[in-house]
Amino acid sequence: MNNATIVERLSEIERLPTLPVVIRELQALIVNPRSNMSQIAKVISRDQAIASRVIRLVNSAFYGLRTPVASIQQAIVILGLNTVKNITLGVSVVNSFGSSVAASIFDREQFWIHGFATALASKYLARGLKYPEPEDFFLTGLLHDIGILVLDQFFHDEFVQVLQCTVRQKALFHHIEKECLATDHCEIGSLLAEKWGLPKFVIDAIRYHHTPGMGMAQCPESRDKIALAHVAEAEMRQRGIGSVVPGWINGPETHIREKTAIAVSDIDAISNKVGEEVQALMKEWGI
Tell whether 181 and 277 lie within a shared domain: yes
Mean pLDDT of 157-181: 88
CA 193 to the chain's CA centroid: 10
Q: Is residue 2 included in any domain, yes or no?
A: no
**pLDDT of amino acid 75:** 94
Q: Name the domain count of the chain.
A: 2
Tell whether 118 and 246 lie within a shared domain: yes
**Residue span of the structural domain in which 279 resides:** 99-287
Contact 118, 141 (CB under 8 A): yes
Q: Could you report the per-residue pLDDT of 67-126, keeping only the tens digit for each?
A: 999 999 999 999 999 999 999 999 999 888 866 655 567 888 889 999 999 999 999 999
| Boundary-marking domain end, from 96, 113, 146 | 96
Instruction: Using alpha carbons, select from 26, 151, 43 the residue that is nearest to residue 89.
Output: 26
Tell whether 64 and 165 lie within a shared domain: no
Contact 153, 111 (CB under 8 A): no
Q: Is residue 72 included in any domain, yes or no?
A: yes
Tell whether 263 and 155 lie within a shared domain: yes
Cβ burial of 162 (10 Å; 0-12, 13-18, 19+) is: buried
Tell whether 130 and 268 lie within a shared domain: yes
Tell whether 122 and 248 lie within a shared domain: yes
Mean pLDDT of 223-234: 95
Mean pLDDT of 145-170: 90
| Boundary-marking domain end, from 96, 130, 150 | 96
Tell whether 139 and 223 lie within a shared domain: yes
Q: Is residue 241 included in any domain, yes or no?
A: yes
Q: Is residue 23 included in any domain, yes or no?
A: yes
Tell whether 80 and 105 lie within a shared domain: no
Tell whether 121 and 27 lie within a shared domain: no
Residue 5 has pLDDT above 60, yes or no: yes
**pLDDT of amino acid 225:** 97
Range scoring the smallest mean pLDDT among 53-57, 125-129, 164-168, 209-213: 164-168
Q: Comparing 138 with 63, which gets the higher pLDDT?
A: 138
Q: Is residue 74 included in any domain, yes or no?
A: yes
Tell whether 114 and 251 lie within a shared domain: yes
CA 287 to the chain's CA centroid: 14
Residue 143 has pLDDT above 70, yes or no: yes
Tell whether 105 and 227 lie within a shared domain: yes
Tell whether 247 and 145 lie within a shared domain: yes
| Boundary-marking domain end, from 96, 111, 132 | 96
pLDDT band at 215 (very low <50, low <70, confident <90, very high): very high
Q: Is residue 66 included in any domain, yes or no?
A: yes
Q: Is residue 85 included in any domain, yes or no?
A: yes
CATH number at residue 138: 1.10.3210.10
Q: Is residue 4 included in any domain, yes or no?
A: no
